[in-house]
């Protein structure tokens, strides 16, 4: 397993301790998730507006009800190569998650250790991270649309871009996976938790390429969106803590039935306590090779 990390003393400038009026919600939840409509006739597109403006979606998307089971008591049943996600308890030594140099210089090392230990991969490349602090003018807010961060095509091109053409050429014949590691930056998550779709309950035909438009740039990215189907199984982990992380698989080059893509999304509790502050989190992105 990953090396043991001492419990951190959380910086009050970055973290909020327990909310004064928390939403103590556990068990199954019926919530609205932003899917691709079963009868959609246009290709899905997402428009990131930036700052305080909400994300926009074209007519392929619609919020539809889904039952999300609480995986807390069954956490040992969920494995990264079967369901595509896995919950791990692993405290961090990092205190300041607003300091990019500290994250890249120290937290990335912790992430490499965790990904190696959980996945069994040999070489792990950490290439990016996003801190979501819930500020009013922040352009990085929880993503409220069902998505997988990469498609078959973009996983390969992104790996080559971030690792470098020469290095990637040496690695590309090996099995490659893409793993996001998501950690709360609050004592306990009481707002905008993540829901994960069990990869073994997804039909490949229901993963649809979606275009992502970014503000202030001509770049258009591609992810997978998910068409809603009755057999899909959804889970969340109630009351996640700062000492826990979820590993989410965004790609696997194996095509033998191993989990390859893991659609996920932030969602809102139906009876959200409005006194609870915004959710804060960090997601760190990696490519790993066997």
Q: Which residue from 33, 35, 68, 30 is spatially nearest to 270, judged by alpha carbons? A: 30
Query: How deeply is 116 buried, as exposed, middle or buried, from its count of CB atoms within 10 A (0-12, 13-18, 19+)?
Result: middle
Query: Which run of H or E residues covers position 162?
Result: helix 152-163
Instruction: Give the C-alpha separation, 182 to 79, whole Å.
Output: 15
Q: What is the pLDDT of residue 214?
A: 85
Q: What is the pLDDT of residue 5?
A: 42
pLDDT along the chain (290 residues), means of 10: 40 40 73 93 87 83 97 96 98 94 97 98 97 68 90 95 96 97 96 96 96 85 95 97 98 97 95 84 98
User: What is the phi/psi pair of residue 94, to 5°?
Assistant: -75, 135
How many residues belong to the chain?
A: 290
Q: With contact defined as beta carbons under 8 Å apart, do 42 and 212 qualify?
A: no
Q: What is the pLDDT of residue 52?
A: 66
> pTM score, two decimals?
0.89
Q: With contact defined as beta carbons under 8 Å apart, do 108 and 282 qualify?
A: no
The contacts of residue 238 (CB under 8 Å, 6+ apart) are 25, 26, 27, 70, 72, 193
Domains, the chain, with CATH or none: 29-289 (2.60.120)
Q: What angle do CA 136, 137, 143 make, to 5 degrees?
A: 80
Residues facing 62 on adjacent strands: 35
Q: Taking the CA atoms of 266, 268, 269 and 272 in sequence, report the sign of the dihedral they define.
A: positive
Q: Taking the CA atoms of 214, 249, 268 and 61 in sequence, report the sign of the dihedral they define.
A: positive
Q: What is the pLDDT of residue 142?
A: 78
Instruction: Give the C-alpha separation, 276 to 104, whole Å.
Output: 30
Q: With contact defined as beta carbons under 8 Å apart, do 28 and 192 qualify?
A: no
Instruction: Give the C-alpha separation, 82 to 139, whole Å.
Output: 33
**Beta strand residue intervals within the chain, DSSP E:** 29-36, 45-47, 56-57, 61-70, 85-89, 123-132, 147-148, 176-184, 194-197, 207-213, 220-226, 234-236, 244-252, 264-266, 281-289
């Amino acid at each position: 397993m990953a090396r043991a990390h001492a419990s951190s003393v959380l910086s009050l400038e970055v973290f909020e301790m327990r909310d004064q009026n928390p939403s103590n919600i556990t068990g199954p939840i019926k919530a609205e998730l932003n899917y691709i409509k079963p009868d959609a006739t246009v290709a899905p597109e997402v428009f990131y507006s930036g700052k305080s403006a909400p994300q926009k979606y074209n007519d392929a998307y619609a919020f539809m009800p889904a039952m999300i089971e609480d995986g807390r008591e069954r956490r040992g049943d969920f494995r990264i190569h079967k369901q595509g996600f896995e919950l791990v308890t692993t405290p961090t030594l990092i205190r300041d998650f607003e300091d990019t140099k500290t994250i890249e210089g120290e937290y990335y090392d912790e992430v490499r250790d965790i990904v190696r230990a959980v996945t069994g991969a040999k070489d792990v490349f950490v290439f990016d991270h996003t801190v979501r602090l819930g500020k009013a003018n922040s352009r990085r807010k929880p993503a409220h649309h069902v998505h997988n961060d990469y498609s078959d095509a973009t996983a390969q091109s992104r790996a080559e871009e971030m690792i470098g053409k020469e290095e990637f050429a040496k690695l590309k014949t090996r099995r490659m996976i893409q793993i996001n590691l998501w950690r709360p930056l609050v004592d306990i998550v009481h707002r905008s938790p993540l829901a994960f779709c069990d990869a073994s309950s997804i039909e490949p035909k229901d993963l649809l390429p979606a275009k992502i438009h970014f503000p202030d740039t001509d770049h258009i990215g591609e992810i997978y969106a998910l068409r809603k189907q009755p057999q899909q199984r959804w889970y969340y982990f109630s009351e996640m803590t700062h000492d826990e992380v979820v590993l989410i698989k965004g790609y696997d080059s194996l095509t033998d039935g191993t989990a390859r893509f893991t659609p996920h999304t932030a969602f809102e509790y139906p009876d959200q306590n409005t006194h609870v502050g915004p959710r804060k989190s960090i997601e760190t992105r990696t490519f790993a090779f066997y």
